[in-house]
Amino acid sequence: MRTSSVSTGNAVSETFSDAFLSALGAWQRGWNEDQARREVLLSELAAHVVEIPEWFRQVNGNCYRKRYLLPGEFAQLFLHGGLHDGPTSWTTTREFAANFKGLMRPGAITAAIFEHAPDPNDVLLNIERLWGAKEFSDAVTSFEERGGSNADALRNFEGNQAEIILNCLLLPGEIVGLTGVSSGFDLLCDKLGIVEAARSGILKDLIATGVYPDEPDWAWDDAARRVIANTYSEFDARLKKYASGELPAPANPNPP
């Protein structure tokens, strides 16, 4: 394993250069949905990641990512072998992924949690492992004391996100969580045969435990897999109808 010794300025570490720390801080500061800015930050970070030991470019166990799915992206998941967003931030903690940025986003049809067991080539950087190394923590402290660029972003996030940067496909078979709005309370009561007189008490009990029947909530694991399986079956059945002529082919939304 090669260890870099590209220290710059008065950096305390021979492994983690100021340039690497600045690039990592810029990545963690974010890009405010500006994809062109994201590409610049990624390029700068990737150029310095090769300087650090391979240990920090490995991960053991599964990683999780929340992805808001827009109209049409379910079809891409099934028909084009998955979605590829390039290198993106994942986490080793499913709960953090679920709570990150809320349940829903305007314009999205659902939020999905993907669970992925990375291959070695998937891993760009294990930020969680960086913060477990005293040399890295000391290097950040020195960098911060010397007024290093983006040091505040490094310190702000530290290892709290258990962040791993991965470059991999998002696959439908790796979805373990989906958000959606549950059935209206009265409709649900109708289905369960609950009489009107009993409903107000049940609703109060639900709210007291933090459950709001008309608000978005998560479907996890087997429930999410059933949604994916049913969605795939619907796509497959529709494609067969297109092929047989039973349904007219959909118009091309992007004609030449």
Domain ranges, ordered by start, for the chain: 18-177
Q: Tens digits of per-residue pLDDT, 9-58? A: 454 678 999 999 999 999 999 999 899 999 999 999 999 999 999 999 99
Longest dimension (CA), the chain: 74
Q: Are 91 and 62 in contact (CB under 8 A)?
A: no
Average pLDDT, the chain: 84
Where are the extended beta strands (E) located within 99-245?
Answer: 110-116, 123-126, 163-166, 175-181, 216-220
State the pTM of this model. 0.79
Ranked by mean pLDDT, the top range of 77-86, 115-124, 153-162, 222-231 is 115-124
What integer pLDDT is reported at residue 201 of this predicted model? 67
Q: Tens digits of per-residue pLDDT, 239-255? A: 888 888 887 876 654 54
Rounded to an integer, the average pLDDT of 142-171 is: 93
Q: Is the pLDDT of residue 108 over 70?
A: yes
